[in-house]
Amino acid sequence: METQSNKSILKIKNPSTEKFLDIWKQYQPFLIEDVAEHWDACHKWSNDYLIEHCGNKVVYIWFFQKNFLYDYKKFAYDNDSYYIKEMQYKEYVKDIEERANGNNNDDIGCYSNEIDFEDRFPELVGDVTYPKYLDRKPWVNLWHGFSNKNFTSASTLHFDRVHNIYAQIRGRKRFLLFPPSNYLSFYPPLNESSGIGHNSKVNPDLLQLELFPKFPWQQRIEVILQPGEILYIPPFWWHHVTAIDENISLSFWYDLKIQDFFKQKNMLQVVLNIAPPYLRHVISGGSLKDTIDLFKGLIS
């Protein structure tokens, strides 16, 4: 039933809820097979199908310079190094098809991330069987990205304060995962009010030992998420995500409940480690919204 995908991450086939929760208590990421691969989404969601059903829907697209991830002053702070534009989904799909084929060589990349799945694409909900491992309703986001020689759709190294059940529908993504040890060893940008407290200054693809000597470089877990696979990412685990191909993913985000801090091993200690410097950052001029987002859901 269970095999090791490598020395660090567990892989399991079609777990029951009881089996999922038994593993979930260990507060470790793990892979699930033989679940999402049976969803209609994994068989139907070609670009033509998506355009036919949702092409006229308006979505938010993020635009970045191609060297965005090589300078933490751009990605770790809330600044003007990217912009967001509304466009029809079919226009975005056509754009990334051209980029993926190398027909667009400009210095700007784009990424359709965190599309509110139920709000923007209700026509597609029936193609997905929502996971029922946790006793709460998820917030579902759709991600559609690509990779070419000039730009790769990516998420910076960061943590989320939610349970993340991440399903790969099409194409592949690479995840670099880091366990949440000492918060400050991840170099969150707390020295300025524009710093994003759940982001790291570190790009784990750039080995910058002199700049970030305390970063836990050796603790990285690398996962290539294949179509039809699901990755569970626990709250506050750091992760860095990059596209390998043109790809589509769904993230199912589940808010925390107070009992989760006692059911999942060591999560309470992790939050107690994060809270003091994070709160000092807010008091000294950081974002109150970020703090509300961090602790929201703890009394649900």
pLDDT digits (tens, 9 = 90+) for 274-290: 999 988 887 776 555 55
With beta carbons less than 8 A apart as the criterion, state whether 162 and 256 touch.
Answer: yes
| % of the chain at pLDDT higher than 70 | 91
Residues 6+ away with beta carbon under 8 Å from 48: none
The span from the CA of 293 to the CA of 213, in Å, is: 29
Phi, psi of 13 (to 5 degrees): -100, 125
**pLDDT per residue as tens digits for the range 199-238:** 999 999 999 999 999 999 999 999 999 999 999 999 999 9
The span from the CA of 147 to the CA of 245, in Å, is: 5
What three-state secondary structure class fits 227? coil
Total length of the chain: 300
* Four-residue CA torsion sign, 125, 130, 136, 140: negative
The span from the CA of 227 to the CA of 169, in Å, is: 5
| % of the chain at pLDDT higher than 90 | 73
- Cα distance from N-terminal residue to C-terminal residue, the chain: 34
**pLDDT per residue as tens digits for the range 65-120:** 878 888 898 899 888 888 899 999 999 999 988 877 766 666 778 899 899 999 99
What three-state secondary structure class fits 279? helix
Angle, to 10 degrees, between the axis of helix 47-54 and the axis of helix 89-100? Answer: 160
